[in-house]
Chains A and B, each alone.
Chain A
């Protein structure tokens, strides 16, 4: 039995867990603030575009079975391109995970640990992620598969429990802030599908690399459903969301759940599930960053690399002065970085590599 590779289900769970953590912490707020009442329509539209884009990149990736983006970059532009792409992706993963860690730690500090410094909350997560990352037999991918049903159940439970408070009319005016915002500038909401960044590095990890398209498309569909459910919950529940805003809107939505006078304050259960899912996300990100760094440096001891990246992540997480800095970075800088690196540069690398491969075949 091959314990070093991951199966289709584990891969899908991994990609959706990544997307879910972004939705939980920053993306939903940004989407609703940008597209207003047209958020649901926008997500449906963006999901279709993302699926088409995913099919294209999977087609390209299938031309290089068992190669990830680093190997493909080396094939296209030698070691120089390999180092550039590798460093850009490590910076992307570490920097933005650090920012999300800051947002999550800040939220936990406000909710549960008012007298604990954010540094210690972040450190707790980093240590958990480093330990999980270094466990054998790809434990993090397997544990993600176990957590995944909990994420699905809790999200559905949240959506269904808040139904008595919904005002479905909040989905109108149907085009929200206008046709241009919904369908043109609203395309930037593609950054909700953060799993795309990880798809580029998945083929060598898979038991069946040829299944990458099936995995990627399924994960995008799952992520879209999650996103629609979470956005619908927030949009239908909070009348003036655009005007007021919430620290963690999904947490505020959880506070509304009550069943008579017996089941109240269920937020603790949800926060526990989110903590586990966030540790999962951090360890996956650390694992991917370590794999890339390992390829760049040829260092065999991955524990040292994981610790180094974990330390970098911790530094990033304590850099933002306050919550507003980290949310601005997560909503604006993250969006542009995603488009430049994940949609732009990576796609071009794949495209030119396929062209190079075709040209070589012709000359042969």
Chain B
């Protein structure tokens, strides 16, 4: 009896000790004390090094019945300037009266100006934070990050979060952007090749106000499209980094080339000159049927990179008086598409290797097998040699059909 009594006493003493020890951590994680950030914006500050912007959704936005139909009214933006991300977040903590939590942060947006100066510190700091998920998307905005976030209003979705979730789908179905994440950026940044990419964002009103609208996908990037809509922001193209510094951007067509090589696109639409009527364009929907085959050969210290793509295509735009069932017609379209794609991919590869000197397709990984030890690989200096790389692109295109109508 007395033994059991001692056990009960010890149990209660331990219980009190542990309640006391763990309650503070529990309270700090309590929902009522946290403000979940949906998106984080980082700009160059005017008075301090950085301007941190955070986007939240009001709690009522998540109510299934009681939420306002005007979803934009549910978004709250706050910003403040500080010398580092976390002192900025701390400043916002004091303003909001809650602790900002990045566990549900879907997007981190960097302004182009900041990205040009280098965002390595910010990336490492964010990854160092336990709350940030590696799958958080990373966007480089051609406008300020604050403006980009302020214009991210749900269009056909009810919540902004649902819009952010469409990034991965848009990426796989259009090829105009890639679903790039902060985890991927960090991985590339900490590797030896140090070639990173981010989604290129901007405001669709910019081009209209500057009368600089671009409609051709070969030149189209974020902030230059003709899109008009409820949501002011748009993502088109990719931001290319050499190390942690922004060194250039890729247009919509270049982004497609990049994604075809990286096997990150399920289907996309391209526009080529009609082989039967040069004054017209014809649109084709592409479907990569096999994963890209990449091999690297090194001769006289020059990397020779061989890329093989196998793509099926459907004709979307039909012209008059063409029999799309004829084999020679389909073959003509196949050859025209092949020529177009090979030219675009060559141009893209020359741009990233010669102009940007950054191996964003990670061809270097394919070359690793040529080296027995890490020191041999380091001595080879891939980043330097990649500038002189020679490419051999072979795109095997099979135009399958013209969908429902086979003859015009």
Residue of A nearest to B187 (CB): A239
Question: How many angstroms from the CA of A240 to the CA of B24 in the assembled complex?
Answer: 36
Per-residue contact bits, chain B 364-388, to A (CB 8 Å; 1 contact, 0 not): 0110110111111100000000000
Residue of A nearest to B362 (CB): A167
Residue of A nearest to B161 (CB): A261
Q: Is there contact, CB below 8 Å, between B374 and A36? A: yes
List the A side residues contacting B230 at CB < 8 Å: none
Classify the interface of chain A: helix, strand, loop or mixed.
Answer: loop
B14 in contact (CB, < 8 A):
yes
Residue of B nearest to A239 (CB): B191
Which of B165, B184, B374, B375 has its CB near the most chain A CB atoms (within 10 A)?
B374
List the B side residues contacting A165 at CB < 8 Å: 183-184
List the A side residues contacting B320 at CB < 8 Å: none
Q: Is there contact, CB below 8 Å, between A173 and B17? A: no
B window 318-376: CB within 8 A of A: 362, 365-366, 368-369, 371-376
List the B side residues contacting A127 at CB < 8 Å: 14
Q: Is there contact, CB below 8 Å, between B369 and A172? A: yes
List the B side residues contacting A244 at CB < 8 Å: 124, 190
A322 in contact (CB, < 8 A):
no
Question: How many angstroms from the CA of A237 to the CA of B124 in the assembled complex?
Answer: 17
B25 in contact (CB, < 8 A):
yes
List the A side residues contacting B103 at CB < 8 Å: 265
A36 to chain B, nearest CB (A): 5
Tell which of B133, B366, B374 touches A173, judged by Cβ atoms closer than 8 Å.
Answer: B374
A201 to chain B, nearest CB (A): 30
A107 to chain B, nearest CB (A): 10
Tell which of B25, B371, B376 touches A114, judged by Cβ atoms closer than 8 Å.
Answer: B25
Q: Is there contact, CB below 8 Å, between B134 and A169? A: no
A window 202-230: CB within 8 A of B: none
Classify the interface of chain B: helix, strand, loop or mixed.
Answer: helix
B18 in contact (CB, < 8 A):
yes
Q: Is there contact, CB below 8 Å, between B373 and A256? A: no
Tell which of A116, A117, A120, A177 touches B373, judged by Cβ atoms closer than 8 Å.
Answer: A177
Tell which of A123, A169, A241 touches B368, judged by Cβ atoms closer than 8 Å.
Answer: A169
A window 224-263: CB within 8 A of B: 237-241, 243-244, 252, 255-256, 258, 261
List the A side residues contacting B374 at CB < 8 Å: 36-37, 173, 176-178
List the A side residues contacting B17 at CB < 8 Å: 120, 123
A124 to chain B, nearest CB (A): 6
Question: How many angstroms from the CA of A279 to the CA of B331 in the assembled complex?
Answer: 67
Per-residue contact bits, chain A 15-35, to B (CB 8 Å; 1 contact, 0 not): 000000000000000000000
B68 in contact (CB, < 8 A):
no
Per-residue contact bits, chain A 165-190, to B (CB 8 Å; 1 contact, 0 not): 10101101111111100000000000
Q: Is there contact, CB below 8 Å, between A178 and B130? A: no
B308 to chain A, nearest CB (A): 17
List the A side residues contacting B375 at CB < 8 Å: 177-178
Q: Is there contact, CB below 8 Å, between A120 and B22? A: yes
Q: Is there contact, CB below 8 Å, between B369 and A110? A: no
List the A side residues contacting B29 at CB < 8 Å: 112
Q: Is there contact, CB below 8 Å, between A115 and B187? A: no
Q: Is there contact, CB below 8 Å, between A240 and B373? A: no
B93 in contact (CB, < 8 A):
no
List the B side residues contacting A124 at CB < 8 Å: 18
Tell which of B130, B366, B368, B373 touches A110, judged by Cβ atoms closer than 8 Å.
Answer: B130
Question: How many angstroms from the CA of A185 to the CA of B201 in the assembled complex?
Answer: 50
List the A side residues contacting B372 at CB < 8 Å: 173-175
List the B side residues contacting A239 at CB < 8 Å: 187-188, 190-191
Q: Is there contact, CB below 8 Å, between A117 and B21? A: yes
Question: How many angstroms from the CA of A173 to the CA of B165 in the assembled complex?
Answer: 37
List the A side residues contacting B28 at CB < 8 Å: 114-115
Q: Is there contact, CB below 8 Å, between B192 and A240? A: yes
B174 to chain A, nearest CB (A): 19
Question: How many angstroms from the CA of A252 to the CA of B183 in the assembled complex?
Answer: 10
Question: How many angstroms from the CA of A111 to the CA of B21 in the assembled complex?
Answer: 16
List the B side residues contacting A37 at CB < 8 Å: 368, 374
Question: How many angstroms from the CA of A174 to the CA of B368 in the assembled complex?
Answer: 9
Tell which of B18, B24, B133, B373 touches A264, judged by Cβ atoms closer than 8 Å.
Answer: B133
Per-residue contact bits, chain B 6-17, to A (CB 8 Å; 1 contact, 0 not): 000000001001
Residue of B nearest to A264 (CB): B133
Tell which of B25, B134, B365, B373 touches A170, judged by Cβ atoms closer than 8 Å.
Answer: B365
Question: How many angstroms from the CA of A114 to the CA of B27 in the assembled complex?
Answer: 11
A window 121-141: CB within 8 A of B: 123-124, 127
B87 in contact (CB, < 8 A):
no
Tell which of B14, B21, B191 touches A116, judged by Cβ atoms closer than 8 Å.
Answer: B21
Per-residue contact bits, chain A 89-111, to B (CB 8 Å; 1 contact, 0 not): 00000000000000000000011
Contacts A173-B371, A175-B372, A239-B188 given; indicate if A113 touches B133 (C-beta within 8 A). no
List the A side residues contacting B187 at CB < 8 Å: 237-240
Residue of B nearest to A113 (CB): B25
Residue of A nearest to B21 (CB): A120
B135 in contact (CB, < 8 A):
yes
List the B side residues contacting A177 at CB < 8 Å: 373-375
29 A-B residue pairs with CB within 8 Å: A37-B368, A112-B29, A114-B28, A116-B25, A120-B17, A120-B21, A120-B22, A124-B18, A165-B183, A167-B362, A167-B365, A169-B366, A170-B365, A170-B368, A173-B372, A173-B377, A175-B373, A176-B373, A176-B374, A179-B373, A238-B187, A239-B188, A239-B191, A240-B189, A240-B190, A244-B190, A255-B134, A255-B183, A264-B135
List the 3 shortest-distance A-B pairs measured between CB atoms, nearest first.
Answer: A240-B190, A239-B191, A120-B21
Chain A residues engaging chain B, CB cutoff 8 angstroms? 36-37, 110-117, 120, 123-124, 127, 165, 167, 169-170, 172-179, 237-241, 243-244, 252, 255-256, 258, 261, 264-265
